[in-house]
C-alpha cells in the first residue's frame, strides 16, 4: 500500500461546514495528489503537491484548498462543504517501481454532505 493512509475514512457533514481530509505517507515521496471519484466521471484531479508548500490546481479545484507543511502530510480542505462535494476522495503519491513511475493510492475517504 506504499504506506499511504487517509483519515477519516468516512465522514458525514452538513452543508456549509468546513471539512479537512488528511493524507499521510511514510515513504518520503515528493509528489502527492488528491482526486475525487464520482460515477460517470471517473477520477478527477483536485490538487497536487510537488513538495512542501508547493501545490498546484487540478481539473476540479474550485471549492477546495490544500496545504502541505511537511512531506508526509497533504491536507484537503473544503472551506464550506456543498452537496456537490459528496464523493469518494482518494489520495495518491507518485512512486517508483521496477518499471518506472506510477501512482499509488490510499484507501479513500467517503464524504457525504447533507
**Rounded Cα–Cα distance for residues 21 and 33 (Å):** 12
In the complex, least distance from residue 12 CB atom to other proteins, rounded to whole angstroms? 19
Q: Give yes or no for residue 75 binding other proteins (CB under 8 A).
A: no
| CA distance readout (Å), 75 to 17, 82, 100 | 16, 18, 26
Strands 87-97 and 109-113: antiparallel
Using CB under 8 A, pick the residue from 50, 69, 84, 114 that binds other proteins.
Answer: 50
Which residues contribute to the site for other proteins (CB under 8 A)? 1, 31, 33, 35, 40-45, 48, 50, 58, 90, 92, 94, 97, 99-103, 105-108
Amino acid at each position: 500500500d506504499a504506506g499511504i493512509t487517509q483519515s477519516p475514512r468516512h465522514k458525514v457533514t452538513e452543508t456549509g461546514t468546513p471539512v479537512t481530509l488528511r493524507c499521510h505517507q511514510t515513504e518520503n515521496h515528493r509528489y502527492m495528489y488528491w482526486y475525487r471519484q464520482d460515477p460517470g466521471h471517473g477520477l478527477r484531479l483536485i490538487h497536487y503537491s510537488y513538495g512542501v508548500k508547493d501545490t498546484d490546481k487540478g481539473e476540479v479545484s474550485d471549492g477546495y484548498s490544500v496545504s502541505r507543511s511537511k512531506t508526509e502530510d497533504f491536507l484537503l480542505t473544503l472551506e464550506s462543504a456543498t452537496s456537490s462535494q459528496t464523493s469518494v476522495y482518494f489520495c495518491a503519491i507518485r512512486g517508483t517501481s521496477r518499471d518506472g513511475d506510477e501512482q499509488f493510492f490510499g484507501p479513500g475517504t467517503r464524504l457525504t454532505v447533507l
